[in-house]
Amino acid sequence: MNSMDVEVLRTAMDWMNRGHRVVMGTVVRTWGSSPRPPGSLMIVRDDGQVAGSLSGGCIEDDLIARVQRGDLAPRLPQVTTYGASAEEARRFGLPCGGTVQIVLEPLAASSMLRELLAAIERHRVVRRRLELATGMVALDEAAEGDTVQFDGASLTTVHGPRLRLLIVGGGQLSRYLAAMAVMLDYRVTVCDPRDEYHEGWAAMEGVTLARQMPDDLVIAMNLDAHSAVVAVTHDPKLDDLALMEALKTPAFYVGALGSRRNNDVRRDRLRQFDVSADEVARLRGPVGLHLGGLTPPEIAMSIVAEMTAVRRGVPLSGPLADWSGSTTACLTA
């Protein structure tokens, strides 16, 4: 679950505490081309106010009107489908004949949103099971690989920690990388023990500055499969320390700035320490996709683009991934 959906849940709690009736919609299935994936959330307040999105704007107006009239989920959860026919898909503007199925749930104390948010704040990954016949909800620990499941009688959604990014180095490139990562829903930590790189970070929303040595921080952060690490200082005393520990974690992405030659030398250095050949092979360096970027913002964009592709499981091969990294070799942190 990303922070946008967490904010939807928090907003729902706030509206309920203020005495509003709130209905929550969850995308459970899509066919063809659909703007929002299963698990996407939107809430509708009794006066028509909304938070979140189910289709990027295609069906929201109709859904809001139906919820306000009481046509959908007046007392118990209910399923509705948009785009079941080509004519309906055209009417609502769903792209390429797409179809989206939604479960609408009237929220109450028994919906266990407070407990769910508390679990998310403790960085737990939680399954939420909703029984449509009764509206009853149960929470338990999620297992690896759990996804949104809907069988017509019950809906299971998975909620958990948002993405994390550790940037080693606090210079100019790091500022662009951090800003873009925050927009992509990462909780960003910038690690730099060098005092001369600390100015200005406190003002960046969504970014935490850490001053300890990077290997100690990697261990303390207990990186998981929702985590990424990018080292950009060009100083082996800092970059290599972080990479030695990060490559041993389940982090989905570990990368280092620099040319192909510099990263080959780095891999040789890492092998001299307690880093296995398989772990070294996980290192992405030169970091980023080959977008032809020359400036720090362009290089930052290439890095977050590669991180996104890796996280989404998109194979990286061909011209986008085949480059010498020479444009990044002279960039400072």
Per-residue pLDDT at 328: 45
Q: Is 205 exposed, middle or buried, given 0-12, 13-18 or 19+ CB atoms closer than 10 A?
A: exposed
On whether the pTM is more than 0.85, the answer is no
Q: Is the pLDDT of residue 332 over 80?
A: no
Residues 116 and 11 in one domain: yes
Residue 93, domain member (yes or no): yes
Residue whose pair of structure tokens reads 């200082």 in the numeric block: 233
Q: Is the pLDDT of residue 317 over 80?
A: no
pLDDT band at 46 (very low <50, low <70, confident <90, very high): very high
Residues 227 and 215 in one domain: yes
Spatial distance between the Cα atoms of 59 and 65, rounded to a whole number of angstroms: 10
Residues 270 and 169 in one domain: yes
Q: Domain end: 144, 159, 174, which one?
A: 159
Residue 333, domain member (yes or no): no
Residue numbers of the domain that contains 140: 3-159
pLDDT band at 292 (very low <50, low <70, confident <90, very high): confident
Q: Domain end: 159, 184, 207, which one?
A: 159
Tens of pLDDT, residue by residue over 222-237, are 898 889 999 999 888 8
Q: Is the pLDDT of residue 325 over 50?
A: no
Residues 72 and 106 in one domain: yes
DSSP string, 164-193: EEEEE--SHHHHHHHHHHHHTTEEEEEE--
Residue 220, domain member (yes or no): yes
